[in-house]
């Protein structure tokens, strides 16, 4: 009888709806295909492929190192190792957030004609960028082990944890950015300005310790400041971060994720009608 | 009407009560807000927030008004009506793309909706990659697809083109590939929106044959189309919508005849 068929009931209210995460889980095959598509489209017609992905931020690192160890001197030993352990993280976040401004517009046909949880598109962008990031970080870890630590510091074991924190933060920031971009094209103009500001307000080319003591409580309101400091501790300094920082960031990233997802969920239902 | 004795089979909730429902809509309305303010400024948005106006201020219009529909399992139903009558909205509501403003929709069984053919296709990817992507878009996993992949390629008659990027396909080839994926899915309920006019005559005939055999095997079909001949051939029942309100529901020939009279009156020059 009808019990053998999956039954779906749709109403105007939220009461009868399955949770978004359950819906996302059912669409995991689509998520995987989107990640594969993103990577294929980017790399299949490129001879040097990943070399470009790695070289581009590496050039910036080179410039930062040149300027901040020879012109404006930042007193850190192996300054290149310091910049290397933070800049690629920054770059990954920056690119993912920028993708958020056009991801729904780019997939408007899909959003208008298929019933799927649209956060999958954001997850797909985060996922494919994350795979590239893992490849980049593998190279960076090797460089740091070979030329900076001359050993494998135990703190490297925390890398997967910082990665999870990073993913939660990025999703929590990308979802509201993508949501707002559906309603206002202003976002794609405003975001680069915001990110440029954030670049200077985050410890990318200078350590957070150089920020005046009095300003630090405000400084660390920016969750990226904490994330980058975590990376600096773990990868550059090669020591275990303070538990305050670690648990603080775990809580903060979870909060950002939940709030960002809630904002997105509030408006996601109307995306098919307006993209 | 002389044939009225034969038609009650498909009138709402009377004799099709015997049929188990595949899709049921009760009092479904859909109101659209026109997001005029999309072009307006952020300043206005802040003002709206402060004055506690909802984000969605704009003209609201009904595209579907208290729509009741019960489609029995194994029925083939045509949704007809002029442009802007609410057919596509109804289909999107059943597919779960839009949420209704009020009312309830039940679907019993695995549902595939093809609203725009090839949505999700990427021009840089090969035919084979696009098949995998489009199948996932329509809800088919990779393993299930593998079992049907040859059938898809065979039906599209695109052997030898599957490793070619889609951007080198003609539009007919692209549509054939998309349609092949869609018809090889074998859902319990299939919704098609204006996607019958695909490819050359030979391919269209095979599509129709395919849909007929899908229907004969017990599949439920809801079609939106302006192709009267195809509708007559595939469907037994038709539902006519006009400005979001149901005008008629019954035997396909009768409803189509009534619709064509109406359509002819509206635009005497046409056809």
pLDDT tens-digit readout, A97-109: 999 999 999 999 9
| CA neighbor of B191 nearest in space, from B90, B122, B118 | B90
- In terms of phi and psi (left: phi > 0; alpha: psi -120 to 50; beta: otherwise), the region of A78 is left
For residue range B93-120, what is the model confidence (pLDDT) as tens digits? 999 999 999 999 999 999 999 998 888 8
Which residues, listed in sequence order, are joined to residue B76 by a DSSP beta bridge?
B221
CB contact under 8 A, B95 and A115: yes
For residue B141, list chain A residues with Cβ-Cβ distance below 8 A.
29
Structure tokens at B223: 């079609």
In the structure, what pLDDT confidence band is assigned to residue B34 with cuts at 50, 70 and 90?
low
Q: How far is Cα of residue B238 from the mean position of the Cα atoms in its chain? A: 14
For B117, name the nearest residue in chain A, comparing CA atoms only: A113
Which positions in chain A touch B101 (Cβ < 8 Å)?
12
Sort out which chain A residues have CB atoms less than 8 A from B45's CB and list them: 184
User: What is residue B202's predicted lDDT score, i.e. its pLDDT?
Assistant: 87
Which value does ipTM take for this structure? Answer: 0.86
Q: What is the pLDDT of residues B114-150, one digit of tens each?
A: 998 888 899 999 999 999 999 999 988 888 899 999 9
∠ CA A126-A132-A138 to the nearest 5 degrees?
A: 130
pLDDT at B39 over 80: no
Task: Confirm if A100 and A177 have CB atoms less than 8 A apart.
Answer: yes
Nearest to B116 by CA among B91, B86, B145, B94: B91
DSSP character at residue B242 = E
Per-residue pLDDT band for B5 (boundaries 50, 70, 90) equals very low
For residues A224-235, give the mean pLDDT. 97
- Tokens 């990954």: give the residue: A92
Instruction: Locate the chain A residue with the closest alpha carbon to B140.
Output: A29
CA atoms of A273 and A266, how far apart (whole Å)? 15
Residues of chain B contacting A115 with CB distance shorter than 8 Å:
95-97, 113
Confidence of residue A142 (pLDDT cuts 50, 70, 90): very high
Rounded distance between C-alpha atoms, residue A202 and residue A206, angstroms: 8
Check B124 against A44: CB less than 8 A apart: yes
Question: Which residues of chain B does A110 touch, with a Cβ-Cβ cutoff of 8 Å?
Answer: 119-120, 137
Question: Distance of alpha carbon B162 from its chain centroid, rounded?
Answer: 27
End-to-end CA distance of chain A: 39
| Predicted pLDDT of residue B269 | 47
The percent of residues in chain A predicted with pLDDT above 90, rounded, is 84
**What average pLDDT does the segment A145-173 reach?**
96
Give the C-alpha distances (Å, rounded to integers) separating B247 from B10, B80, B85, B254: 15, 10, 11, 12
Q: What is the mean pLDDT of residues A80-91?
A: 97
Residue B67 three-state SS: strand
CB distance B116–A12 less than 8 Å? no
Nearest CA in chain A to B125: A41
The chain-wide mean pLDDT, for chain B, equals 84
Task: Inform me whether the C-beta atom of residue B258 falls under 8 Å from chain A C-beta atoms.
Answer: no
Q: For the residues A191-210, what does the mean pLDDT come to?
A: 96
Q: Which two tokens stand for residue A58?
A: 């590496």
pLDDT at B90: 95
**Chain A residues near residue B104 by CB distance under 8 angstroms:** 9-11
Q: Under an 8 A CB cutoff, do B106 and A9 touch?
A: yes
Which residue on chain B is closest to A110 by alpha carbon?
B119
List the alpha helices (DSSP H) in chain A.
Answer: 20-26, 28-43, 50-70, 79-106, 108-113, 119-144, 159-183, 186-200, 216-219, 223-231, 243-268, 271-274
Mean pLDDT of B223-244: 92
Query: Which whole number is the average pLDDT over B52-71?
Result: 75
Any idea which of A9-23, A72-86, A145-159, A218-232 has the lowest mean pLDDT? Answer: A9-23
Contact in structure between B237 and B12 (CB atoms under 8 Å): no
Query: How far lies B95's CA from each of A174, B138, B230, in Å?
Result: 27, 11, 22
CA distance A102 to chain B (A): 15
Q: Please state the rounded mean pLDDT for residues B41-66.
A: 65
B97 CB within 8 Å of a chain A CB: yes
Q: For an interface test with A, which of B27, B30, B60, B96 has the most A Cβ atoms less than 10 Å from its Cβ?
A: B96
Most confident of B17-26, B198-207, B234-243: B234-243
Q: pLDDT tier at B248 (50, 70, 90 boundaries)?
A: very high
Residue reference for tokens 């930062």: A64
Contacting residues of A for B33, CB less than 8 Å apart = 270, 273
Which residue, chain included where needed, has tokens 């400091």? Answer: A229
pLDDT beyond 90 at B238: yes
A8, A110, A183 ranked by CB distance to B38: nearest: A183
Lowest mean pLDDT segment, chosen from A4-8, A271-275, B149-153: A4-8
| For range A135-161, the mean pLDDT | 96
Least-confidence region, from A148-162, B25-39, B70-84 = B25-39
Return the top range by mean pLDDT from A173-177, B121-125, B256-260: A173-177
Asked whether residue A231 carries a pLDDT value surpassing 90, the answer given is yes
* Per-residue model confidence (pLDDT) at position A62: 96
CB under 8 Å to B47, separation ≥6 — which residues? none
Cβ distance B181 to B135 under 8 Å?
A: yes
H helices present in chain B, as ranges: 42-50, 87-95, 127-137, 142-156, 171-183, 201-216, 228-234, 252-266
Q: Percentage of residues in chain B with pLDDT exceeding 90?
A: 58
Q: Is B96 on the interface with A (CB under 8 A)?
A: yes
| Tens digit of each residue's pLDDT (9 = 90 or more) over B156-189 | 999 999 999 999 999 889 999 998 998 888 899 9
Contact A193, A101 (CB under 8 A): no
- Yes or no: say if A172 and A223 are a contact pair by the CB < 8 Å rule: no
Query: Which tokens in the block code for residue B11?
Result: 């009138």
- Among B33, B41, B119, select the one facing A114 at the smallest CB separation: B119
Of all residues in chain A, the one with the smallest CA distance to B32 is A273
Q: Is the pLDDT of residue A96 over 60?
A: yes
Chain A residues near residue B98 by CB distance under 8 angstroms: 272-273
User: Which chain B residues are Cβ-neighbours of A41 within 8 angstroms?
Assistant: 122, 124-125
The answer to whether residues B251 and B7 touch, using CB atoms and an 8 Å cutoff, is yes
| Interface check B18 vs A, CB under 8 A | no
Q: For position A104, what pLDDT does the model report?
A: 95
CA distance B179 to B118: 8
Rounded CA separation A174/A129 (Å) = 13
Give the span between the Cα atoms of B230 and B204, in whole angstroms.
Answer: 10
Helix, strand or coil, per DSSP, at residue A232 = helix
- pLDDT at res. B1: 38
- pLDDT in the model for residue B41: 55
Query: Which of these, B115, B122, B243, B106, lies nearest to B174 by C-alpha position?
Result: B122
Burial of residue A41 (number of CB atoms within 10 Å: 0-12, 13-18, 19+): middle
Q: Which residues contact A147 (CB under 8 A, 6 or more apart)?
A: A78, A81
Q: What is the mean pLDDT of residues A21-40?
A: 93
Mean pLDDT estimate for chain A: 93
Q: Where are the alpha helices (DSSP H) in B184-270?
A: 201-216, 228-234, 252-266
Give the alpha-carbon dihedral of B173, B178, B180, B183, to 10 degrees: -150
Rg (CA), chain A: 21
């Amino acid at each position: 009888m009808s019990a053998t068929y999956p039954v779906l009931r749709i109403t105007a209210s939220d009461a009868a709806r399955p949770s978004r995460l359950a819906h996302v889980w059912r669409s995991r095959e689509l998520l995987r295909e989107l990640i594969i598509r993103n990577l294929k489209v980017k790399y299949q017609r490129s001879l040097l492929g990943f070399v470009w992905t790695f070289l581009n931020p590496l050039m910036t690192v080179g410039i930062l190192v040149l300027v901040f160890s020879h012109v404006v001197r930042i007193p850190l030993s192996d300054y290149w190792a310091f910049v290397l352990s933070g800049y690629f993280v920054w770059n990954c976040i920056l690119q993912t957030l920028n993708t958020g401004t056009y991801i729904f517009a780019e997939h408007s046909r899909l959003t208008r004609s298929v019933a799927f949880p649209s956060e999958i598109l954001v997850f797909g962008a985060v996922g494919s960028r994350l795979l590239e990031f893992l490849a980049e970080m593998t190279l960076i870890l090797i460089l740091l082990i070979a030329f900076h630590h001359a050993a494998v510091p135990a703190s490297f074991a925390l890398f997967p944890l910082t990665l999870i924190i990073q993913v939660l933060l990025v999703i929590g920031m990308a979802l509201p950015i993508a949501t707002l971009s559906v309603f206002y094209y202003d976002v794609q103009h405003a975001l680069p300005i915001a990110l440029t500001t954030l670049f200077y307000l985050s410890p990318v080319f200078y350590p957070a310790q150089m920020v005046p003591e009095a300003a630090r409580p405000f400084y660390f309101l920016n969750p990226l400041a904490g994330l980058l400091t975590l990376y600096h501790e773990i990868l550059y300094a090669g020591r275990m971060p303070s538990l305050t920082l670690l648990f603080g960031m775990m809580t903060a990233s979870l909060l950002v994720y939940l709030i960002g997802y809630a904002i997105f969920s509030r408006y996601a239902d109307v995306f098919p009608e307006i993209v | 009407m002389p044939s009225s004795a034969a038609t009650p089979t498909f009138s709402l909730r009377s004799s099709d009560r015997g049929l188990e429902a595949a899709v049921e809509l009760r009092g479904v309305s859909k109101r659209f807000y026109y997001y005029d303010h999309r072009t307006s400024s952020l300043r206005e948005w802040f003002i709206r927030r402060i004055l506690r106006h909802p984000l969605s201020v704009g003209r609201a219009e009904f595209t579907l008004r208290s729509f009741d529909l019960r489609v029995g399992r194994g029925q083939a139903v045509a949704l007809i009506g002029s442009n802007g009558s609410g057919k596509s909205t109804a289909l999107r509501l059943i597919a779960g793309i839009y949420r209704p403003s009020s009312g309830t929709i039940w679907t019993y069984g695995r549902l595939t909706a093809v609203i725009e053919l090839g949505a999700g296709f990427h021009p840089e990817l090969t035919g084979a990659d696009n098949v995998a992507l489009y199948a996932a878009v329509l809800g088919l996993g990779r393993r299930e697809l593998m079992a049907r992949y040859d059938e898809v390629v065979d039906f599209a008659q695109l052997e030898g083109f599957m490793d070619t990027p889609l951007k080198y396909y003609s539009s007919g080839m692209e549509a054939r590939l998309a349609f092949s994926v869609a018809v090889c899915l074998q859902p319990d309920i299939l919704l098609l929106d204006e996607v019958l006019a695909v490819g050359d005559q030979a391919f269209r005939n095979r599509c129709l044959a395919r849909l007929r055999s899908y229907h004969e095997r017990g599949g439920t079909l809801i079609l939106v189309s302006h192709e009267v001949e195809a509708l007559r051939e595939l469907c037994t029942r038709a539902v006519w919508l006009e400005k979001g309100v149901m005008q008629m529901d019954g035997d396909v020939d009768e409803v189509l005849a009534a619709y064509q009279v109406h359509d002819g009156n509206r635009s005497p020059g046409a056809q």
